[in-house]
Amino acid sequence: MTKIYDQQRFKPPKVGDEVHRLRRAHGLTLDELATKSGVSKAILSQIERDKSNPTLSTIWRITQALDHPLEDLLSSNKPSSPFEKLKYNATPSVASEDGGFTLRILGLVSMLASVQWYEFEAQPGSCLISESHGTGSIESISLLKGALEIEIEENREVLEAGETLRYGTETAHKLTNIGKGVCHGFMVNLLSPTL
């Protein structure tokens, strides 16, 4: 499979709104927080407006002055909306070795180690070969269009449009589009046996 491109991964966290909220909650002015933290008023103002990307040392001094855990501030990037909407071309995807089997990652990229949710398309004759997903792992495929053969060791099952198939993925398995047209469906992998 190809690499997953996560555009959000390398963006620094925006802490301005949270610093402003915490400062107001403590009833502090910019001058008072500047005195308490040792960070200049001008820098604090820039941070609160997300006009500055503060160093870890600066953030640490601010969180100490506000009696707030550093890790909470860095993980406080809550979206301003309860929704996260991705355009089709912004949804990360991966492809099979032959390039004919494409998986669009619909689930959270941060959860790929435990739950994987994909929309897939497979060109006629293309296949996706996967190694074991680990002890207790389960894969579920719902096929919307086409015909797909699933092979696990000597066992084979054909899935047709409108059908769902679930199977253990503790061993290598192969998915092949055996139809004459494009195969389209959804796949969910549960990789954690505790789910």
pLDDT beyond 80 at 19:
yes
CA distance 43 to 29: 14
CATH of 16-74 given 3.10.560.10, 1.20.120.1200, 3.40.50.11540, 1.10.260.40: 1.10.260.40
Partners of 188 in the β-ladder: 117, 140
Q: 3-class SS at 118?
A: strand
Q: How confident is the model at residue 120 (pLDDT cuts 50, 70, 90)?
A: very high
Q: Which CATH number fits domain 88-190: 2.60.120.10, 1.10.150.20, 3.40.50.740, 3.40.50.1820?
A: 2.60.120.10
Name the residue among 117, 175, 177, 118 with its Cα closest to residue 146. 177
The answer to whether the beta carbons of residues 158 and 178 sit under 8 Å apart is: yes
Q: What is the pLDDT of residues 125-156, one digit of tens each?
A: 999 999 998 899 999 999 999 999 999 999 99
Among 4-18, 65-79, 108-122, 157-171, the minimum mean pLDDT is found in 4-18
Q: Does pLDDT of 4 surpass 70?
A: no
Q: How wide is the angle at C-alpha 54 spanned by C-alphas 111 and 26, nearest 5°? A: 90
* pLDDT at 6 (0 to 100): 47
Q: What is the DSSP letter of 147?
A: E
User: Per-domain residue ranges for the chain?
Assistant: 16-74, 88-190
Q: How confident is the model at residue 192 (pLDDT cuts 50, 70, 90)?
A: low
pLDDT: which is higher, 72 or 36: 36
